Amino acid sequence: MSDIPADPRPIVLTGDRPTGPLHLGHFCGSLRNRVTLQHGHDTFVPIADAQALTDNTDDPRRITRHVIDLALDDLAVGIDPSLTTICVQSALPALCELTQLFLNLVTVVRLERNPTIKEEIQARGFGRDIPAGFLCYPVAQAADSAAFRATLVPVGADQAPMIEQTHAIVRRLNRQVGHALLPEARASIPASGRLPGVDGRAKMSKSQGNALALSATEDEIRAAVRRMDTDPDHLRVGDPGRVEGNVVFTDPDAFDPDRDTIAELKARYRRGGLGDTVVKQRLETVLLDLLAPIRASRAAWAHRPDDVRDILRDGTRHARGVTQATLDTVKDALGLYRLAP
Ligand code: ATP
Ligand code: MG
């Protein structure tokens, strides 16, 4: 019995849930990073439809409808299918089997302590009726990461507890089998932190209805910027304003390449003498410039539906081989019964 050999290239894994169009939060939290990392790494991007069912049980078809949309968003921002394997999670049965094995390596108390899960349970209003699959989705995520033998996971800051959970499971498995069977993936979390919603709430999120989609039209971008709340105490242009936690400044921090002008605008806003309208006009221009090429690329891919379907089919086929190989190795290492050939 041998360890999985060290891969010559580090393996990057990161996915999204097909619960709606990808948005600016995804762009700064993960997409930008994964576009860069695909050069020089084997990169896998599963579309996490099985995970999305954990809190969308009543409407699986809605999740399925978003699968192609998500692929289009990935392709539009520059995920290159010749460098990155885009695949569909629910079509990878080895992930379920590995999840089942991993569930025995974690306690319910540990799952309930996960701060992101706690926050999400509250946001979704589950009360005590938490779907078991939802509570356990960090375990499924650990299985995803392990099955692809990921060494680097580019994710937003909200995912840090999931990476810790993955480490705990992988360490326990490695200890149990007595050798470094699976790698412990390292998180790559951008310094920009998590992007607040256009309503100023803590996190831009598809499920919270406070997101600006990467596919937004020019009118939708303008309307979203117009609606953004600013500092409620900044009533007159001459009043000093608050920059921290003010969404019209958080967004430029994440997306405006002209750092000097942003620093100057912030200083003027803090001192007083800078109106919200001016800040919003600049933000509008920055977002229009950022999203125009993404929208154009998305439209071009949308005209090639057969190619998009082929990318998903080929990617999933490749991913099936990779994940099954890991599952076989884990089963062997645990000493599970093997039928005679
Ligand atoms: P849902 O509301 O359905 O959970 P979501 O908007 O939270 O959707 P996910 O698909 O759960 O998006 O997240 C995919 C990736 O994007 C994760 O790595 C996550 O950390 C990152 N991400 C999502 N929202 C943000 C955000 N507002 N800021 C930074 N990163 C984000
Ligand atoms: Mg989420």
Q: How confident is the model at residue 205 (pLDDT cuts 50, 70, 90)?
A: confident
Q: How confident is the model at residue 26 (pLDDT cuts 50, 70, 90)?
A: very high
* Tally of CB atoms within 10 A around 37: 18
Q: 153-172 pLDDT, tens per residue? A: 988 888 999 999 999 999 99
Phi/psi of residue 148, each to 5°?
-90, 0
Q: Which ligand is nearest to the CA of 203?
A: 1
Which residue did the predictor score with more confidence, 125 or 207? 125
Ligand 2 center to residue 205 CA distance, Å?
A: 7
Ligand 1: which of 12, 19, 23, 26 to mutate, judged by most atoms within 8 Å of the beta carbon? 26
Task: Return the pLDDT at 299.
Answer: 97
- Give the whole-number percent of the chain exceeding pLDDT 70: 98
**Number of residues that this document lists for the chain:** 341
pTM beyond 0.85: the answer is yes
Q: How confident is the model at residue 1 (pLDDT cuts 50, 70, 90)?
A: very low
Q: Is 32 in the pocket of ligand 1 (CB under 6 A)?
A: no
C-alpha distances in angstroms, 180 versus 6, 185, 266, 331?
A: 10, 13, 50, 15
Q: Alpha helix locations (H) across 27-159?
A: 32-37, 49-52, 60-77, 93-103, 108-113, 115-123, 132-135, 137-147
Q: 99-145 pLDDT, tens per residue? A: 999 999 999 999 999 999 999 999 899 999 999 999 999 999 999 99
Q: How confident is the model at residue 4 (pLDDT cuts 50, 70, 90)?
A: low
Residue 295 pLDDT more than 50? yes
Average pLDDT, the chain: 92
Q: 261-290 pLDDT, tens per residue? A: 889 989 999 998 888 899 999 999 999 999
Q: Is 206 in the pocket of ligand 1 (CB under 6 A)?
A: yes
Q: Within its chain, how far is the Cα of 138 from the centroid?
A: 13
Structure tokens at 141: 């995520």
Q: Is 158 in the pocket of ligand 1 (CB under 6 A)?
A: yes
What is the C-alpha separation between 298 and 308, in angstroms, rounded?
Answer: 11
Ligand 1: which of 12, 16, 208 to mutate, judged by most atoms within 8 Å of the beta carbon? 16
- Taking 3-state DSSP, the helix, strand and coil percentages for the chain, each rounded to the nearest 5, stand at 55, 5, 35
What domains does the chain contain, in order, with CATH numbers?
11-195+304-334 (3.40.50.620), 218-298 (1.10.240.10)
What is the C-alpha separation between 48 and 71, in angstroms, rounded?
Answer: 11
Question: Cβ neighbours of residue 185 under 8 Å, at least 6 residues apart?
Answer: 13, 145, 150, 151, 152, 153, 163, 166, 167
Q: How confident is the model at residue 8 (pLDDT cuts 50, 70, 90)?
A: low
* Tally of CB atoms within 10 A around 325: 14
Which residue did the predictor score with more confidence, 234 or 76? 76
Which residue did the predictor score with more confidence, 23 or 239? 23
What is the C-alpha separation between 74 and 237, in angstroms, rounded?
Answer: 41
Residue 249 pLDDT more than 70? yes
Q: How confident is the model at residue 38 (pLDDT cuts 50, 70, 90)?
A: very high
Task: Return the pLDDT at 324.
Answer: 98
Residue 2 pLDDT more than 50? no
Q: How confident is the model at residue 7 (pLDDT cuts 50, 70, 90)?
A: low
Q: Name which of 35, 87, 86, 90 is nearest 214 in CA terms.
A: 35
Torsion-angle region of 323 (φ positive above 0: left; ψ -120 to 50: alpha; else: beta): alpha
Q: How confident is the model at residue 5 (pLDDT cuts 50, 70, 90)?
A: low
**Residues facing residue 213 across a β-bridge:** 23
**Residues facing residue 152 across a β-bridge:** 12, 186
Q: 321-330 pLDDT, tens per residue? A: 999 999 999 9
Residue 84 pLDDT more than 90? yes
Residue 3 pLDDT more than 60? no
Q: How confident is the model at residue 6 (pLDDT cuts 50, 70, 90)?
A: low
C-alpha distances in angstroms, 41 versus 150, 186, 196, 212?
A: 10, 14, 30, 30
Residue 317 one-letter amino acid: R
